[in-house]
Structure 1
Amino acid sequence: MGATQAGTLYVVATPIGNLGDLSARAREVLASVDAICAEDTRHTRQLLGLLGVDRPLLALHEHNEAAMAARLVARLQAGEALALVSDAGTPLVSDPGYRLVREVRAAGLKVSPVPGACAAVAALSVAGLPSDRFCFEGFLPAKAGARRERLQALAGEMRTLVFYESAHRIVECLEDLVVLFGPDREAVLARELTKLFETVLGDTLGDIAERVRDDEDQRRGEFVLIVRGAADDTEARLREGQRLYAKLAEYLKPSQAAKLAAEITGAPRKALYGGEME
């Protein structure tokens, strides 16, 4: 059997930095398919150039994926083999592609993974935090209010949390985490993984936030933030109670909101309503 089969969509992971992380199978598949669907064709063309591969490229991103899916399914039905790549790492992990994969599967066609690098898993593997259960959250909302609301909802999550973040929001993100999760929550910040200036900072959210604020170099590149989950059921109930209280207090008297939030979550009422929430 050759590198590819007719009528198959190959979901191909590409390096997140170090070109040597591309598997031999991935290289062979990319060189053998009829066309490659790429999030950014310019970026992928550069990668293919480094690999010595020359294949037709098709732009597939969040703005055209729905429209492109039917056309790509038709090409697969006609017997072509296609590959799907993102700018870096494993496609569909905080990247476009799931609509295409869903349509291909719905048409009864084969979707085959070609595994490889994934920034979230790479960071988790070196974090030294519990990894038996984790929750991938991708990028947090860009606007401050929405970001804080999302983090407040996650403050009581007991699984290890995995976030992606950009250079121009990393300071604000860490500051919000310190406020909402507390400065002593264990965390690891992985920056520029597999690249020349790779760093992995670990300790607590408070320490990491201070280091990033004080060192301009630590505010450059691409980031994966790993945060330990809430310590126990008591903390989880308290955080969920605080989140629910804040919502209910928009419509009810504070005392009523605290009573209802405490009944629903099991959090201590006094911890929710004492004039000001923690």
Structure 2
Amino acid sequence: MQQQDSWTATVVEHHRLRRDVAVVRLIGEAVPFRAGQYVDVSVPGHPRLPRRLSPALPPSLDGKLEFHVRTVPGGWVSRSIVEDTRPGDRWQISAPRGDLTVDEEGPTVVMVGGGTGLAPLRSIILDLVQVPNPPQVYLFVGGRTVADLYASDMLWLLTQQLPWLTTIPVVEDVTDPGAPDDWYERIRDHVGDSALAGFGDDHLLEGTLGDVVAAHGAFVDHQVLVCGSPAMVRTTRDRLIATGTPADAIRFDPLD
């Protein structure tokens, strides 16, 4: 019997969260990936330019998928997904890959997510909800400004509901409002004065993700997962190793 290597899913929701960030939800054939893995996605308009994306939900038998997509400079496909995706669009999904995984019976987990690098980490967290006694998880999630913390409301709710999850939001400059963004302003107006929708100023740590995480010490007996831009992943990994975290304890996945 020939093994299936491509699956079809249909867009059912498209939410623009920032000028350059959107959440896309689909339903289709069940894709056999593991929480934390990434897949290749082909979208209408650019069928010959597959884009590597990480599902933000764990696998489901009913074929639900969710992707967090940020536009990248010169990225035709990412910009098209963020700006032009519509319900009814049919996507092709292929080639689950990657080893950004957690040992459910292993030691404490430290997760470091920059930007939409949060997506596979969220998938793993939601997968751990099904485990009777999940390990303690510390999630460092960051951006250049407060506005870059696009999923802070969802993370606040998860952190309140899961006693084994601690979320640490990190921004490089707490005083920088970032560039004007109508999408961000609409969401902030909807949730009230708190742009973090739950996390307050006393929850924020200032600095780069690599520096802030490394300042918490050497993670000698931990599972460490890092996902974000290639530069962020490289810098964070180097900082962790320099402060005593064993290199073989770090699993990492740089975004395209």
Give TM-score, length-normalised by structure 2.
0.30
More helix by share: 1
- What is the TM-score with the length of structure 1 in the denominator? 0.28
